[in-house]
Amino acid sequence: MNFEFSAEQKELQDQARKFLAEKCPPRAVRNVLEGKDSYDRDLWKALAGMGFLGVSIPEKFGGAGAGYLELCVIAEEIGRALAPVPFASTVCLAAEALLIAGSEAQKQKWLPAIASGDAIGTLALFEGSGKPSAKAIKLAASGGVLNGIKKPVPDGAIADFAIVAARAGPSGRESDIALFLVDTKAGGVEAKPVDNIDPSRSQAELIFRDCRAELLGPATDGWNILSHLMDRAAVLMAFEQIGGADRALEMARDYALDRIAFGRPIGSFQAIKHMLADMYVSATLARSNSYFGAWALSTNAGELPEAAATARVSATQAFQHCAKNNIQVHGGMGFTWEFDCHLYYRRSNALALALGSQSYWEDALIDRLRRKNAA
């Protein structure tokens, strides 16, 4: 048993951290947050140039052909820097959907473009409020033509292609759900950006009107593919979350050391120390759970469903906990636009919802534990 990243993986992480510290300072996040850009194009291209976007894409599709552990450490750094790029949508969701279920031609068309930073992809799953479920998917597919509305779609207004979950059969069973690949530039899709709690990553409404689409994977297998896809994305996004949680904790710690009140650093008061200790506890538990998720993902272990839900629930808790208490430690300054605390607060809450709510994943975790215990 060895439960750490290798020296090479740590080196890659270090490289990504340095790179992002230079190319993605808080100013870059704010440019997108304040609406000057819908995402940071230069950063996106630069990440591609470093090979980070295609790190786990096979070489024959233009990637580096490294494993998921490498992708996890990069995701952590993306999260730590709050990179305002469509990483979760394109790399964690769209690329993974292609890798799980794409045809040779579909992979050949889109994966190299993702790795090179030339294509942005997304997953169009949700149709308004509610948890992920086969029943909630109403968007209709008939003869390879889609009609309906998806909302919210992460980075939907800047995506070049979307993986769309649609209802293709009348039986009312999960097997009615099919996945389709849509080239958003080919017509039939209208994208409307929607305001969201974390404008450093965009959200959109996609309206499909007689939109031509090609199947992704077997027509009756959409829901199974989605479930597996969500598990993979849960692990990768957990790394974004633990990266963000760690940074929020560091910010709070640094401020507590600098800020003087009542004649001493506020970090010398137990009320503050204990708050920070509890943030450290959440962040550490989430990190350890995410490592287990990374192992399960990288080895495609049978434990992946349980490990993914565990990593997801834990990392969501940790990032939300650290981000909200980072504001609290900063006091009034933490609630100003000028301080960066709200950037982490926004991202923590957006990521918490990105794959369906915390209660959805809690429920999923208990189902999976029951299955394991029954076995």
Partner 1 sequence: MNFEDTTQEAAFRSEVRQWISANAPKHLELELSRSSIGRIKLMNADILEVARAWQKKKFDAGWACLHWPREYGGRGASPIERVIWQQEEGVYDKLSSPFLIGEGMCGPTLMAYASEADKRRYLPKLASGEEIWCQLFSEPASGSDVAGLRTRAERDGDDWVVNGQKIWTSGGHYSAYGILITRTDPTVPKHKGLTMFLVNMKSPGVEVKPIKQANGMQEFNEVYFTDVRIPDSQRLGAVGEGWNVSLTTLMNERMSIGSRIATGFQELFDFCSRLKTENGLAIEDRATRARLADWSVKNSGLKYTSYRALSALSRGERPGPENSIGKLVAGSMMQEIAMYALDLQGANGVVSDPALAEVAAQFQTMLLSSPSNRIAGGTDEILRNIIAERVLGLPGDIRVDKDLAFNQIPIRGRR
Q: What is the DSSP string of 226-243?
A: HHHHHHHHHHHHHHHHHH
Of residues 292, 319, 344, 345, which one binds partner 1 by CB under 8 A? 292
Asked if 366 interacts with partner 1 (CB under 8 A), we say yes
Rg (CA), the chain: 20
Give the Cα separation of 341 and 364 in Å (integer). Answer: 31
CB of 127 vs partner 1, minimal distance in Å: 23
Stretch that binds partner 1, among 95-103, 162-170, 337-345, 364-372 (CB under 8 A): 364-372
Distance of CA 239 to the CA centre of its chain: 9
- Helices assigned H by DSSP within 219-357: 222-258, 270-298, 304-330, 341-353
Asked if 1 interacts with partner 1 (CB under 8 A), we say yes
In terms of C-beta density within 10 A (0-12 exposed, 13-18 middle, 19 or more buried), how is residue 167 classed?
Answer: buried
In terms of C-beta density within 10 A (0-12 exposed, 13-18 middle, 19 or more buried), how is residue 195 classed?
Answer: exposed
Asked if 192 interacts with partner 1 (CB under 8 A), we say no
Asked if 69 interacts with partner 1 (CB under 8 A), we say yes
Nearer to partner 1, 66 or 313 (CB): 313
Stretch that binds partner 1, among 75-83, 161-169, 199-207, 251-259 (CB under 8 A): 251-259
Asked if 235 interacts with partner 1 (CB under 8 A), we say no
Asked if 361 interacts with partner 1 (CB under 8 A), we say yes
Going 62 to 188 to 191 to 180, the CA torsion angle's sign is negative
Asked if 253 interacts with partner 1 (CB under 8 A), we say yes
Q: Which residues bind partner 1 (CB under 8 A)?
A: 1-6, 69, 249, 253, 256-257, 264-265, 267-268, 270, 272-274, 276-278, 280-281, 284-286, 288-289, 291-292, 294-295, 298, 301, 310, 313-314, 317, 359, 361-363, 365-366, 369-370, 373
